[in-house]
A and B are shown apart, each in its own frame.
Chain A
Amino acid sequence: MRPFTIHEGLVAPLDRANVDTDAIIPKQFLKSIKRSGFGPNAFDEWRYLDLGEPGRDNSKRPLNPDFVLNQPRYSGASILLTRDNFGCGSSREHAPWALEDFGFRALIGTSFADIFYNNCFKNGLLPITLPAEAIQSLFDLVTAVPGSTLKIDLAAQTVARPDGVALHFDVDPFRKECLLNGWDDIGLTLRHAELIKEFEARRRIEQPWLFA
């Protein structure tokens, strides 16, 4: 996994609550057996005027000019600003894969759905939760000033605005450590293989029906 330390980038505002994973990556693209290549189909139904299918050349498809990520001022954005309950719905990890492949490194919103939140950390994508007033102030900033960027410092747990104001955010220490270092969870867990074996052996005796 790619480590996340400090990231500064252009911010795109997606001013909707309850953005679900079906919207982030529609189901027809879940038929892929790969982990990559989902970026061109991120937000497919909002982004294009026609219907996307796997295997189509997305560069030839008509773009929806009204969709915020299609506006030239947000081209190259790497931070997505959003509202409440982002990533609700299906557990598909294809959603963070698509966002990451699109070029996002961080998401900032008032809340994220649990499974999606978890999935982001496994893919080097940092979801940041801030209070509603702070989110509103960022929406105001980003829409008022073209080219607005934010600087995210994971170690310091801050989001710095161009005017120097730094907003503090919370993150679990364990998740933070893994993301800062780009650690592979499985490798970490397997260091405790002996403990797992002991636990399992005890369970086998106490609840043998689980091991039929």
Chain B
Amino acid sequence: MAQTLYEKLWNSHVVRTEADGTALLYIDRHLVHEVTSPQAFEGLKLAGRKPWRISSIVATADHNTPTDHWEQGIQDPVSRQQVETLDANIREVGALAYFPFRDPRQGIVHVIGPENGATLPGMTVVCGDSHTSTHGAFACLAHGIGTSEVEHVLATQCLLQKKSKTLLIRVEGQLGRGVSAKDVALAIIGRIGTAGGTGYAIEFGGSAIRSLSMEGRMTLCNMAIEAGARAGMVAVDQTTIDYLKNRSFSPRGEIWDRAVAYWRTLVSDPEARFDAVIDFDAARIEPQITWGTSPEMVAAVGDAVPAPEDFADPVKRDGVARALQYMGLSPRTPLKSIKVDKVFIGSCTNSRIEDLRIAAAVVRGRHKADNVKAVLVVPGSGLVKQQAEAEGLDKIFRAAGFEWRQPGCSMCLAMNADRLEPGERCASTSNRNFEGRQGAGGRTHLVSPAMAAAAAIAGHFADVRELA
């Protein structure tokens, strides 16, 4: 029978099924970071249990680590304790790979997996982190789990799961100049809402998706969770295979050939049926900017901030009024007139080499506006940083008055010292604009790397397509 990609991934991992359909799924790759793992390791130890398969574990410290003055170590004692707890746990338990603080390959967990070939097509990938959906770009069944589930996977190599419904989001046509995967993600969330994908696993398909690089596909799958879906995925094609060739944990020789032959089957069959299909026209997607405190509160760059009365549903109307108050914005303000205080280019959504290249291309030969207090460029990993420096991107950023930092989550969630002060407004390439996400009282506008760079140069939001 014809199967969707999701069904193929699901069926190939079921160990057993309960009467109500709850399945025990085998987990191939377990990514671990410092914030959501300490209680799981402790639970394991208290119960006297051993980890099931150590070679499934790839770990790094990313959320709490500082992005400057690495020689001074981690200043915040609470953060330091959490990172040291991970060090100690991995030392005791073991792992396929561990990239601790200051390791040349350290970085954001969702950046290091793929770039080291530790994320391979057909895998089930889990991590105590909602943006695990990122790895679906490689035709993996990848999703975030809670800490109890981290412990469950450590102890049993399995996860208890209910099958999701399937949703195909088809984006056909060609993306316009200055429009990237981030704009596609935001436009989708703007249309279907942050609960639009709840209960579904999303497959992204169509010609516009097939022409995206792996970096772009990761950006898109990364934000599947903001659309309410636990998992997003893209079928395997030549782009996937080319990306994986010669990565450190990628198979080699005869095993590589066998793997590739299998990976090529990881596509939805032509006759496969999805529970829902939504179509988008790539050519009509414009650069996007969020104006509120939920990723679905988003508009095209040429638009204005809406008014609460534009929304018929009373709960929505209240939500919009509250968001505008928090964001310090009045209805009908053109988005392009909104000034920014800070700019953040980074996070597991947009901190890969392609993102930095796009931002650098906008910035080259220009300087940040005087009213912009700081522009942080935070590469997603040590390897991304090395590559960017080899290409001279760091020099372009520095010459523009931007700060070139060490890798980590940084101002995406502000668990380290990088954060907004109350009332500060930020153009950010991250994935969440919730109240206080980038620092208590901080105001976040989600944008693409190109649009973030344009805002830094102009001092207010600007249409990157108009920046000649």
Which residues in A have some Cβ–Cβ distance to B below 8 Å? 15-18, 20, 22-23, 26-28, 30-35, 45, 51, 54-55, 83-85, 88-93, 96, 111, 113-115, 118-119, 122-123, 172-175, 185-186, 189-190, 192-193, 195-196, 199-200, 203, 207-212
B81 near A185 (CB under 8 angstroms)? no
**Does residue B432 face the partner (Cβ distance < 8 Å to A)?**
yes
**Does residue B358 face the partner (Cβ distance < 8 Å to A)?**
no
Beyond A17-B319, A22-B434, A23-B435, whether A88 also contacts B152 by CB under 8 A is: no
**Does residue B15 face the partner (Cβ distance < 8 Å to A)?**
yes
Q: What are 17 sample pairs from A and B whose C-beta atoms fall under 8 A apart?
A: A16-B315, A23-B436, A31-B76, A33-B42, A45-B440, A85-B195, A89-B432, A90-B413, A92-B36, A119-B149, A174-B22, A192-B24, A196-B15, A207-B259, A208-B251, A209-B120, A212-B249
B198 near A189 (CB under 8 angstroms)? no
Which residues does chain B contribute within 8 Å of A207, judged by CB atoms? 122, 259, 262
Which residues does chain A contribute within 8 Å of B15, judged by CB atoms? 192, 195-196, 199
A172 near B22 (CB under 8 angstroms)? yes
B156 near A91 (CB under 8 angstroms)? no
| Nearest CB of chain B from residue A113's CB, rounded to whole Å | 7
B156 near A196 (CB under 8 angstroms)? yes
A91 near B24 (CB under 8 angstroms)? no
**Does residue B206 face the partner (Cβ distance < 8 Å to A)?**
no
Instruction: Give Cα A195 to B18, complex, Å.
Output: 14
4 nearest A-B pairs in the assembled complex, by CB-CB distance: A209-B251, A122-B148, A119-B146, A93-B146
B194 near A186 (CB under 8 angstroms)? no
**Does residue B106 face the partner (Cβ distance < 8 Å to A)?**
no
Task: Count chain A CB atoms within 10 A of each CB in B55, B152, B318 and give the residue with the most.
Answer: B152
Instruction: Give Cα A111 to B26, complex, Å.
Output: 28
Partner of A118, one of B42, B149, B228: B149
* Binary flags per residue of B59-83, CB closer than 8 Å to A gives 1, else 0: 0000110000000000010110110
B85 near A33 (CB under 8 angstroms)? yes
Beyond A27-B414, A33-B42, whether A196 also contacts B158 by CB under 8 A is: yes
Beyond A91-B146, A93-B147, A189-B24, whether A26 also contacts B440 by CB under 8 A is: yes
**Does residue B459 face the partner (Cβ distance < 8 Å to A)?**
no
Which residues does chain A contribute within 8 Å of B294, judged by CB atoms? 18, 20
Instruction: Give Cα A26 to B15, complex, Å.
Output: 37
Which residues does chain A contribute within 8 Å of B440, judged by CB atoms? 26, 45, 51
Which residues does chain B contribute within 8 Å of A192, judged by CB atoms? 15-16, 24
**Does residue B425 face the partner (Cβ distance < 8 Å to A)?**
no
| Nearest CB of chain A from residue B147's CB, rounded to whole Å | 4
Which residues does chain B contribute within 8 Å of A185, judged by CB atoms? 148, 152, 160
Instruction: Give Cα A85 to B114, complex, Å.
Output: 30
Which residues does chain A contribute within 8 Å of B36, judged by CB atoms? 91-93
**Does residue B390 face the partner (Cβ distance < 8 Å to A)?**
no
* Binary flags per residue of B84-98, CB closer than 8 Å to A gives 1, else 0: 010000000000100
Partner of A18, one of B78, B194, B229: B194
Which residues does chain B contribute within 8 Å of A55, judged by CB atoms? 78
Beyond A27-B414, A189-B152, A196-B158, whether A115 also contacts B145 by CB under 8 A is: yes
Q: Which residue of chain B is the closest to A122 with respect to CB atoms? A: B148
A89 near B434 (CB under 8 angstroms)? yes
A84 near B162 (CB under 8 angstroms)? no
**Does residue B28 face the partner (Cβ distance < 8 Å to A)?**
yes
Instruction: Give Cα A124 to B195, complex, Å.
Output: 24
Instruction: Give Cα A45 to B146, complex, Å.
Output: 23
A210 near B28 (CB under 8 angstroms)? yes
B158 near A85 (CB under 8 angstroms)? no
| Nearest CB of chain B from residue A97's CB, rounded to whole Å | 9
B160 near A189 (CB under 8 angstroms)? yes
Instruction: Give Cα A88 to B228, complex, Å.
Output: 7
Among B123-131, B215-223, B300-308, B399-407, the stretch that binds chain A is B123-131
Which residues does chain A contribute within 8 Å of B144, judged by CB atoms? 91, 115
Within 8 A of A (CB), among B91-148: 96, 120, 122-123, 128-130, 132, 143-148
B162 near A30 (CB under 8 angstroms)? no
Partner of A20, one of B35, B39, B434: B434
A22 near B432 (CB under 8 angstroms)? yes
Q: Which residue of chain B is the closest to A206 with respect to CB atoms? A: B262
Instruction: Give Cα A212 to B58, complex, Å.
Output: 13
A196 near B26 (CB under 8 angstroms)? yes
A186 near B434 (CB under 8 angstroms)? no
Beyond A91-B130, A92-B36, A173-B19, whether A30 also contacts B415 by CB under 8 A is: yes
**Does residue B178 face the partner (Cβ distance < 8 Å to A)?**
no
Instruction: Give Cα A203 to B146, complex, Å.
Output: 26
Task: Count chain A CB atoms within 10 A of each CB in B52, B318, B434 and give the residue with the most.
Answer: B434
Instruction: Give Cα A118 to B42, complex, Å.
Output: 21
Beyond A26-B436, A115-B145, A199-B26, whether A89 also contacts B39 by CB under 8 A is: no
Beyond A115-B146, A118-B149, A185-B160, whether A89 also contacts B130 by CB under 8 A is: yes
B152 near A186 (CB under 8 angstroms)? yes
Which residues does chain B contribute within 8 Å of A23, judged by CB atoms? 434-436
Instruction: Give Cα A93 to B148, complex, Å.
Output: 8
Which residues does chain A contribute within 8 Å of B437, judged by CB atoms? 22
Beyond A33-B42, A192-B15, whether A200 also contacts B148 by CB under 8 A is: no
- Known A-B contacts: A20-B432, A33-B38, A111-B195. Give 17 more (CB < 8 A): A17-B316, A18-B195, A20-B294, A23-B436, A35-B42, A51-B440, A91-B36, A91-B130, A96-B146, A122-B146, A186-B151, A189-B155, A192-B16, A207-B122, A210-B120, A212-B96, A212-B249
**Does residue B45 face the partner (Cβ distance < 8 Å to A)?**
no
Which residues does chain A contribute within 8 Å of B143, judged by CB atoms? 115
B255 near A209 (CB under 8 angstroms)? yes
Beyond A20-B434, A27-B413, A196-B15, whether A34 also contacts B39 by CB under 8 A is: yes
Task: Count chain B CB atoms within 10 A of each CB in A123, A174, A211 and give the residue with the most.
Answer: A174
A118 near B146 (CB under 8 angstroms)? yes
Which residues does chain A contribute within 8 Å of B256, judged by CB atoms? 209
Instruction: Give Cα A48 to B307, complex, Å.
Output: 29
**Does residue B49 face the partner (Cβ distance < 8 Å to A)?**
yes
Which residues does chain A contribute within 8 Å of B162, judged by CB atoms? 172
Beyond A18-B294, A185-B148, whether A83 also contacts B315 by CB under 8 A is: yes
